[in-house]
Homo-oligomer: A and B are copies of this chain.
């Protein structure tokens, strides 16, 4: 099976390397020469800043770019891959996008004679590298069947949500609502602890051993305790994702009081200049507290 990975950031690179380890023939597309070189040295059959050299050979495409605009460009832009693929090639759209965008891509891919799997992913860079992502996918059963070797290679768990394109994107967005609120709540709680004179390492220890814990608290507030805001995932990713969450709420005429509040916190953090820092830097918008500094930094 020949698979083209478009987007070689932390998730795309991890998935591509997992596919290589599983014995699939892998091709990679990214704008970064460093990423292309890394994948080529790992054994990719071909790499490029666009897919023109190998698109016609591919049996499947995985899109792991950042947003819907990048998906559109990668598929239908000036050097887009869609017109170059064999008829019927399945395209796994794994960026976090709105359900409306997922439905639009499906229409346009079908018009181009291609098939779509609406297949957002979760699990972070570490799970992508070990081939253990979680995939929440919607699409025709025959596309699931065709892509099975690929899904097996890159995911520990694949949810088949049904045939209706858009449900994959929706499940991911509901998931991101929780992820985004949990990081912001972690920041709010740690900021309050700091204001009250509680040592943050003790607070972190209590919470992670008690019922107030969340996956995101445990993963992201560690950085706050250590004063380390190196981005694995940046504030601006949640500006985007919580924007998609609130857009989905509006589209469904549904109130989202906590998600809307968290969205405002991420917007404010980005405007304050923390957009490229770790998403936990949303805590820096709380004034009147002293946060831990990175040792030696």
Contact = CB atoms under 8 A, between A and B. Distances in A.
A182 B212 contact: yes
Interface residues of A, number: 64
Contacts of A192: 174, 177, 248-249, 252, 254, 256
A170 interface: yes
Contacts of A249: 192
A171 interface: yes
A252 B179 contact: no
A188 B256 contact: yes
Nearest to A176: B212
Given A174-B192, A179-B212, A215-B214, A205 B159 contact: yes
Contacts of A193: 170-171, 174
Contacts of A195: 252, 254
A254 to B, nearest CB: 5
Nearest to A178: B212
A291 interface: no
Given A161-B202, A196-B170, A257-B261, A178 B207 contact: yes
Number of identical monomers bound together in the oligomeric complex: 2
A217 to B, nearest CB: 7
Interface string A10-25: 0000000000000000
A267 interface: no
Contact of A188 (B212, B216, B259): B259
A254 B191 contact: yes
Given A174-B189, A175-B206, A198-B170, A212 B122 contact: yes
Contacts of A262: 258
B174 A203 contact: yes
A264 B257 contact: yes
A184 B99 contact: no
A181 B179 contact: no
A209 interface: yes
A176 B206 CA distance: 12
A171 B258 contact: no
Contact of A185 (B182, B206, B254): B182
